[in-house]
Amino acid sequence: MNRRTLIFVALVLSLLIPIDAAFAKKKKKAAPKGTPILWQQPTDITSRNLYLGPGGTDMRPDLRRITFIKEEKGGYSKKYEVRDGSGREWVVKIGKEAQSETSAIRLLWGLGYVTEINYLVPRVTIPGKGTFTNVRFEARPDKWKRSGEWKWKSNPFIGKPEFQGLKIMMALINNWDLKDSNNEMLQLRGDGGNELWYIISDLGATFGHASTTPLLWRFTRSRNNPKNYAKSKFLEKVKGDRVVLHFGGKNRGIMKDISVHDAQWMASLLSQLSDDQIRDAFRAANYRPDQINLLAQTVRERTNELLSLRPSVQIGRN
């Protein structure tokens, strides 16, 4: 091996060694720890305030002063990170998804699901960015550690009533954007120790419609469209003990194992919500009175569809 070749080999090795060392030092990210929680049995569904939602009165944003922090990239809607007058940080969502997401959070929380904390602000000025209407404020509590996404097809709740019920709710509110990146795990300290909340962090693509025909799906999907939502179908049929939902979204394969028993479990929770509570979930999102009536009526009708389900009789052939 001549001198030139030796110098070349030494140079290559000198470049590779730091890279190998960097890989050796890089630690595998530890899995988040805590008791997995998707749903918690509410003490009394009928007493839940769906106008204020999971944050109640105490967590409402202080709008006396808004400070822009940064713009958040990605997603369908424009989003900014801001700080309010009390020093709390929020991610604000501007555009069509703000109203639908605010209402979706309240309905899920009302039934016992763990959720984000959000509020709809009818009008707000963000310094340096402009004045906007119907803005969703989503809280970023200091004690909540955001620990990555969870998967629809692989999680600790597969087959459990609360997971089956969550899938039914996604069809009921027409959430067609069921991608894993919209899911989030939150680590926090609960009364019984560390908890790991499995939430759906992005529920903006709701209360609209999407075709169940794959070729038409991208052209027919809509979000925050009360008229489209009310005209869309919810249940297809009952086949034996299986409920066929009219679902035209991503990950539609997860909807194939819904049973009548699952539907009855969810219906038993939904039926505890009063008409006023359901209306409050939409009133909190600053919908017009006619839209509130239409959306609330549709949720009630779909609840009644679930309540009426019975296994179909299978007649064998001779």
Instruction: Give 10-residue mean pLDDT values along the chain (318 residues).
Output: 52 49 53 90 96 97 96 88 97 96 98 98 96 97 92 97 98 95 92 89 93 66 93 94 91 93 97 98 98 98 95 56
pTM of the model: 0.87
pLDDT at residue 317 in the model: 43
pLDDT given for residue 299 in this prediction: 98
- Residue tagged 């089956």 (tokens): 164
Alpha-carbon span 149 to 136, nearest angstrom: 22
What does the DSSP 8-state code read for residue 250?
T
The predicted pLDDT at position 313 comes to: 59
Q: What is the DSSP code (8-state) at residue 181? A: G
- Encode 11-35: b = buried (16+ Cβ within 10 Å), e = exposed: eeeeeeeeeeeeeeeeeeeeebebe
145-146 vs 183-190, strand pairing mode: antiparallel
Say if strands 193-200 and 67-72 run parallel, antiparallel, or are unpaired: unpaired
- Per-residue confidence (pLDDT) for residue 107, from 0 to 100: 98
pLDDT the model gives residue 16: 47
- pLDDT for residue 31: 74
210 and 221 Cβ atoms separated by less than 8 Å:
yes
